[in-house]
Amino acid sequence: MRKYRASQLNRLLACPPSHREGELEIREDTEIARTGSALHHAMEIWVSEGKALDAVDLAKEFNVSDADEIAMLFKFGLQLWDELKDYFPEPKTEVGFEAQLADDVILTGHMDLVSVSGKSEPRVLDYKSGWVKQWPVEQLKGYALGAAAAFSATKATVVVANLRDGSYDARTFETDELKAFGRKVIAAARAVDQDKYEVGDHCTFCPLSHSCPARGALVRSSVNALSDMTTDTIAGIADDGKLAEMRMVISSVEKAVKIVKEGIRDLTIARGVVDLGNGKELFMQDYELKGILPLKAWPILKEHLSREQLAGAIIIKVTAVQDAVAANTSGGKGAACAAILDVLDKVEAIKRTKHKRIQTRKRVENAEEK
């Protein structure tokens, strides 16, 4: 009997051997993952107990360095829940499921929130706190399949709430679609022991990627190719598929470099000094970062600095202002925060800086290309 997690179905379906048992699995404990855990916990407590947890306490508990980010994401979470809560009557939080798809295949999972009221189908709410905007539909279908089985229904709706921008997407999966999907999952589960590896984007979070023969071969040949690359040769690449391959290789190399760097750091901490054999050695250096506490410093600084100089030395965080406004407001915290930001915006007290980053999204086919 084998169990497969709904959150990993896209990888199971794309590359069944990635779920092979008995292989050494390496799972990464990342800041993004810990931030996600903190947010899920905060939302669970808010929905089930109506209590807002403190972002600084959450950051400490979940070992996250940026409490402001937790505060910002939690705020989006509260606004989203305000919008969505009528769609989720009598919500249950943190509900696990085990759905027997076949004699030898069980689908497991964990729903952040589920609502089954009256005769309606299960409605699942899934919080996402990462940067990825497009979630594999297989994952959502997995939750729908698990929820339908857990509540003896034949169809289900999954709502993905994106805590990074306050948006959400809802999809209802009908009976026939879920049945066909269940059959695909069973087929993939039974192909786990066949050597049919498929390299692709799904490799990024594969716990077997360090030992995977297919990925290893691709990375080795690609690293050689990367070492000859310049911005000019990249600009001249005509095959866009080549860029996708290069991005995957870069992520593998970055992962490997991170593991080695952390290993060297741990070794240096353990030994105190590491002799590099070339007349140099590694050691851990203590250093201090200074910050000025505004309340204590204010009376002194205002004697020595002009208003403009003081303003230039101070950064007011939007999330800290929102925290304070929310703390001073009993109901409608989201609206109160939005109102004060609106007023600040009107007097041009909000500074905006624009940045660009590479994002991946699902391609929308141009009607003329069809």
Question: Does the footprint of ligand SF4 cover residue 208 (CB under 6 A)?
Answer: yes
CB closer to ligand SF4, 220 vs 317: 220
* Contact characters 210-249, ligand SF4, x per CB under 6 A: --x-xx----------------------------------
The CA-based dihedral angle spanning residues 15, 19, 20, 22, taken in that order and rounded to the nearest 10 degrees: 150
Q: Which residues pair with 105 in a beta bridge?
A: 2, 102
State the nearest-atom distance from the C-beta of 145 to ligand SF4, in Å: 21
CB closer to ligand SF4, 23 vs 177: 23
Cα–Cα distance measured from residue 235 to residue 242, given in angstroms and rounded to the nearest whole number: 12
Question: Does the footprint of ligand SF4 cover residue 148 (CB under 6 A)?
Answer: no
CB closer to ligand SF4, 60 vs 258: 258
Cα–Cα distance measured from residue 161 to residue 193, given in angstroms and rounded to the nearest whole number: 35
Cα–Cα distance measured from residue 259 to residue 40, given in angstroms and rounded to the nearest whole number: 27
Pick the piece of the chain touching ligand SF4 (CB under 6 A) from 24-32, 191-199, 273-281, 290-298.
191-199
Distances in Å between the alpha carbon of 221 and those of 214, 226, 245, 252, 253?
11, 9, 11, 13, 12
Pick the piece of the chain touching ligand SF4 (CB under 6 A) from 86-94, 207-215, 234-242, 347-355.
207-215
Cα–Cα distance measured from residue 343 to residue 351, given in angstroms and rounded to the nearest whole number: 13
CB closer to ligand SF4, 76 vs 135: 135
* Burial (Cβ within 10 Å: 0-12, 13-18, ≥19) of residue 214: middle
Question: Does the footprint of ligand SF4 cover residue 4 (CB under 6 A)?
Answer: no
State the nearest-atom distance from the C-beta of 137 to ligand SF4, in Å: 18
Report the DSSP pairing between strands 105-115 and 92-102.
antiparallel
On the CB side of 246, how many CA atoms lie within 13 Å of its CA? 15
Question: Does the footprint of ligand SF4 cover residue 136 (CB under 6 A)?
Answer: no
Question: Does the footprint of ligand SF4 cover residue 188 (CB under 6 A)?
Answer: no
Question: Does the footprint of ligand SF4 cover residue 18 (CB under 6 A)?
Answer: yes
Q: Which of 65, 67, 116 is CA-nearest to residue 95?
A: 116
Pick the piece of the chain touching ligand SF4 (CB under 6 A) from 63-71, 143-151, 206-214, 254-262.
206-214
On the CB side of 330, how many CA atoms lie within 13 Å of its CA? 0
Distances in Å between the alpha carbon of 4 and those of 13, 25, 82, 188, 239?
11, 15, 33, 10, 36
Question: Does the footprint of ligand SF4 cover residue 189 (CB under 6 A)?
Answer: no
Q: Which amino acid, residue 113? A: L
State the nearest-atom distance from the C-beta of 200 to ligand SF4, in Å: 7
Q: Which residues pair with 157 in a beta bridge?
A: 123, 172
CB closer to ligand SF4, 44 vs 198: 198
Cα–Cα distance measured from residue 61 to residue 58, given in angstroms and rounded to the nearest whole number: 5
Pick the piece of the chain touching ligand SF4 (CB under 6 A) from 175-183, 202-210, 225-233, 348-356.
202-210
CB closer to ligand SF4, 19 vs 40: 19
Question: Does the footprint of ligand SF4 cover residue 253 (CB under 6 A)?
Answer: no
State the nearest-atom distance from the C-beta of 264 to ligand SF4, in Å: 25
- Of 12, 13, 15, 105, which one interacts with ligand SF4 (CB under 6 A)? 15
Interface with ligand SF4 (CB under 6 A): 11, 15, 17-18, 197-199, 202-203, 206, 208-209, 212, 214-215
